[in-house]
Structures are given as C-alpha cells and as structure tokens.
Amino acid sequence: MIKSFLSTFKLAIVLLMINSFVSSAQADETEKVLTVTTMDSAIDLTPFINIYEDATKKLTYKDFSNPKAGQQFKPLNKAANFGFSESAWWVKLRIVNHHEKIQRVTIRQNYPLIDYVDFHSQQHNNTWISYSTGDRREFSTRPINFMEFLFPIELLPNTETTIFMRFESSGPINIGLDLQSETSLFDTVSSNHLITGIYYGGFIILVFYNLLLFIAIKDRTFIYYLLYLASYGLFFAVMNGLAFQYFWPASPWLANQSLIILLSLSLIWSLQFSRSILSIKDISPVSNHITSGLIIVSTIPLFISPFVSYRLIIIPMSIITILCTVQLMAMGFIAFSRGSKPARYYLVAWSTLLIGIFAYMLKSFGILPHNTWTQNGQQIGSLIEMVLLSLAMSSKVNEYKKGSYIDSLTNLPNRRSFDERFSKEFDNVKGHKQGLLSLLIIDVDNFKHYNDKYGHSQGDEALKFVGKKLQSTARKNTIPSRYGGEEFAVILPNTSSEQAHTIGERIRSKIESDNAQQHNLTVSVGVATLEENNFASHHQLFEAADQALYYAKENGRNRTECFNTTIKDRRTTSC
C-alpha cells in the first residue's frame, strides 16, 4: 500500500514538472510586446525582440504581414548577436502606445557595420513605410543623416504598431536596438558627438605633439607612432560610421574596404612602433624575426582586399589581429624582463587596448553579447592606451635626454653635462659671494702607450674602470664626469683645497692599488679651488686645475697637485 502511494506520488511530481516545463516553453514561445505610455528616456528593445532566421534570404516583409505567417517569429530571450552568419535575420517588434496622443519616436540600431538594413513600419490604414539602407548602400538612403541607423516612426494613440526589420551582412550580425523619444534622441546624439569630439580632439593633440617630438629628436620611433595613430584613428572612424558619413558617403565599396585596409595598416605600424620603442632587434632577435613575419602577413590583405569578398577576408583578418596582439604583448614582456623603462607603460597601455580588442573579437564571433562595452571596448581601451603610450614616449624622450648627457662608455655625465653643471655651480658660489668650489681634473697616465700595447678594447675597459672608481670613491655630493678621451673631471661643491686634495689622492691611490696586478694603470690629478673670488670665471678655474694637472705630469705622473693663486702672483704648488 505504501509502495503504491509512493509510486503514485512520484508520478504526480514528474507530471507536474513536465507540465511546468511545457507551460514555461509555451510561455517562452509567446511573442514579446512592448507597451509604452509616456516616453521620458530611451528603452532597450532587446527584451522585446521577436526573431526569425531566413536561411534562403529571399523573404520580404509581405511574407510576414498576415497573422499566421507572423507567428513564425520566436522571442529572442538572449543577446541579439549572431556573429558571422550566412542567413538574413528578421526582427519583429510589437509596440503598443497606451498614451492618448501620438508619440513621435525613433528606433536606433547602434551598430553601423551592417551591409543591408531594411525597415518596415505598419501604418493605421494598413499601409507600410519602408526604408532600405545599410553600409552597402549609399549614405543618402538613411532617413536621418547620422552615423548610426535611425528610423523615425509615429505611435498612434491606444494602437499597436508592428515593425519588421531585416538584417543581412558579410560581417558579424550585431543587433542593438533601442526606442528613443525626441528628447532622449537629442541627448543620445549630443553625448555621442561629445565623446567623439573628446576622442578625436585628444587624437589630434597626440598627432601634433609626437610630430613636434619627431622634428626635435629625428627618431623613427615617433614616425611609426604617428602612422599608427593616424591609421588606428581612421579605423575607429570607419568602425563607428563617422568616415562613411563624412569622407565617402557615396562610396559603399570604399566604406567597407577601408575597414580592412586601415586595420592592416594599424597592425603593421603598431608592430613596427613596438619593436622600435622596445629595441626588440637588440634584445631578442627571435622576437624581431617573428614581428617581421607578422608585418609581412598583415601586408597581404592590403593587396588582396579589393579582389576578395569581405566575408572571405574578415575572418582571416580577425585571426591575424589576434596573432599580432599576442606578439605585441610578448614583446612588451621581453623588454620588461630586460629592464626597459618604456616597457612598463607599454604593457599597461596595450593591456587595456587588447582587453577591448578581445572583447570585440569575441562579440564578432557571437561569444559575447553586443552591447555598449563590447561594441566600444576598442575605443575605450584606445583612449587609455593613447595616454599611457604617451607616457612611454615621454620615457623614451627622457632616455634620449639622458643619453645626450651621459657618456655611453663609462655611464658618467659627459662633457655637455659637465659644462652646464660646472657653470651653474660656479655662478652659485659667485652669486652668494661665499662658499667654496673645488675641481679635480684627472688624466690617465701614458694612455696612448697603454692603448698601443694592450689594444683599444683594453683601453675602453681601462676608462670604464676609472669611471667606476670615480663613482665609488668620491663623496656623495661630488659630481664626476668624463670630460673627453682619457680625461675626467670631478666637481666638488663646498670643498676646500685641502679636502679636494685628499679626495683626489684617495681616487689616485685607489685606481693604482686596485689595478696594480693587471696593467699597472695610474692617473694624475690636478686640483683648483674657488675661494674669496680668486677666479673671475669658471673658465679660469678650469684652466687652473688643468695647469695643476700639467704640473703633476711634469713631476713624474701618478700624483696629485694643487693650484694656488693670488692676484699678483700665479704659481702652481703642492697642497
């Protein structure tokens, strides 16, 4: 008895679940209807889309105009993103106006890269208003002159309006529909223009800024960046429909081909710019060869796109884009691991852009939904990328600036740096009419003979050795420099003649002792000190130290000598 009851109970549960599932399925099959009263803001139409896939691509709106045929539509119940599709897709919208007055509204399709968009709206007298447009038709076919698709309609009071829209494209089918009132449309268009203005305003500023840097520095990295900016900026103008609206409204062919051409150019110049700013050729020959190969591959679509259909080339182009983005990141990580300062900004910059690119690519293949973030992810990412790449370029400029003041062999400040700093320190002491300033001039003894005996490579090593000893032996506030050839200089602020002699002697003895077992390298040091305004210019102070150096050479080398002077008598003596 109990077993029979349990069996009956289980059967009842199963039947209830089946009934619930069937009811739910039937409810899901019911067409969605949008009811509006007062339109204060935009309404997302995605939840109210009824969809039909036309695999034959031969149906017209008249085939759906009778009630029975219209029942072929099913509620969408998901994002209206179908990726690359061979079919035409029909959208049916049922909008009921529960207001007592006519409402003039606009249906907006926010993805502009659809080849063919046909719009049909039923009127009260059972007639239809139709528009046939798309980016494979001239821009003048659009009912409203705007980069996105805008279709104006009138919603009669207490009446249901039926709308059919047909979408067909060789690219991804992304349907992003919303219903706009006159007020919300004005706000949407104004916001769109503001964002576009900010984006391209920043873009133009960056172009001119980097052009000026190129003129000043004459480095090809800046030209590569300019070409990348120009091609990628125009690519976005094609993506958001701006280029079609203003540049070639009567040329649908160019509107479509320019997307492939500009994407190819963007990839080429981004790869070229990246390997230049990161010095990939020097730090990773293998990565440099991979980059060269990808540049060649990215060039191919430039030549074949006029002769191949968009559908055939866009998918391989998407794969090439993914490969290039992986390589761009790989170069950044390689350069970062080798200590490149620009690589830090570069990695963050490309990471933000690549996240946007991958989101867009996944949306194109129907994996992610079509929405504001996936559609505009590249543009949002590129705004951040532009700022960060500018920081990377600034870091590059700082490296150039540093390079113009640093001796590449010894990594000490060079003659240019010394001249500017020495003049500044001298003027500072003279201006205050108090304080001390000492200068050491250091020369490697018999360097020509050393070079001839051991070779120029050993000579370079000797200069590096002296440079390191100057850095490690001198005090914290001293300023060592390579003046030229085998001659070095050390600026000693707030240092007396006796203190300067002590420092010079410490440097001399350290170089001699640490190198004694190798090639017996020695140096001579000349010392001069500014005190009580005994020198009228920094040139005189330098000449005094140079004379002291000459005296050290004349007295047997490998020694430190000071220059002492009065107004009436000028002589060189030991400190």
CA 247 to chain centroid: 25
Please report the pLDDT score of residue 131 as a whole number. Answer: 96
pLDDT band at 421 (very low <50, low <70, confident <90, very high): confident
Pick from 489, 490, 521, 484: nearest CA to 407? 484
Contact 540, 506 (CB under 8 A): no
- Report the alpha-carbon distance of residue 178 to residue 180 in Å, rounded: 6
291 close to 280: Cβ distance less than 8 angstroms: yes
Number of helices (H), then strands (E), in the chain: 17, 19
User: Of all helices (H) and strands (E), which one includes residue 131?
Assistant: strand 128-133
Tell me what the mean pLDDT of segment 31-47 comes to. 88
Q: Quick one: which of 111, 76, 35 has its CA closest to 372? A: 111
**pLDDT-based confidence at residue 107 (cuts at 50, 70, 90):** very high
Instruction: Report the pLDDT value the prediction gives residue 195, as an integer from 0 to 100.
Output: 79
Q: Region 162-182: what's the mean pLDDT?
A: 92
Question: Do 342 and 279 meet the contact criterion of CB atoms below 8 Å apart?
Answer: no
Contact 238, 226 (CB under 8 A): no
Q: Dump pLDDT digits (tens) for 485-511.
A: 999 999 999 899 999 999 999 999 988
| Residue 81 CB neighbours (<10 A) | 24
Backbone angles phi, psi at 52, to 5 degrees: -145, 130
Mention every residue, 6+ apart, whose C-beta is less than 8 A from residue 465.
511, 514, 515, 521
pLDDT at 10: 47
Q: What is the pLDDT averaged over residues 34-52? A: 90
Predicted pLDDT of residue 29: 64
Q: What whole-number distance in Å separates Cα of residue 58 and Cα of residue 64?
A: 12
Q: Is 67 helix (H, G, I), strand (E, B) or coil?
A: helix
Residue 165 has pLDDT above 90, yes or no: yes
Note the pLDDT of residue 19.
46
Rounded to whole angstroms, the Cα distance separating 236 from 234 reads 5
Q: pLDDT per residue over 343-379, tens digit each?
A: 888 888 888 877 777 776 666 555 666 556 665 666 6
Confidence check: pLDDT of 306 > 90: no
pTM flag (> 0.75):
no
Tell me the mean pLDDT in the region 220-224.
86
Bridge partners (DSSP) listed for residue 117 = 133, 167
Question: Which of 89, 132, 87, 104 has the alpha carbon at shortest distance from 36?
Answer: 104
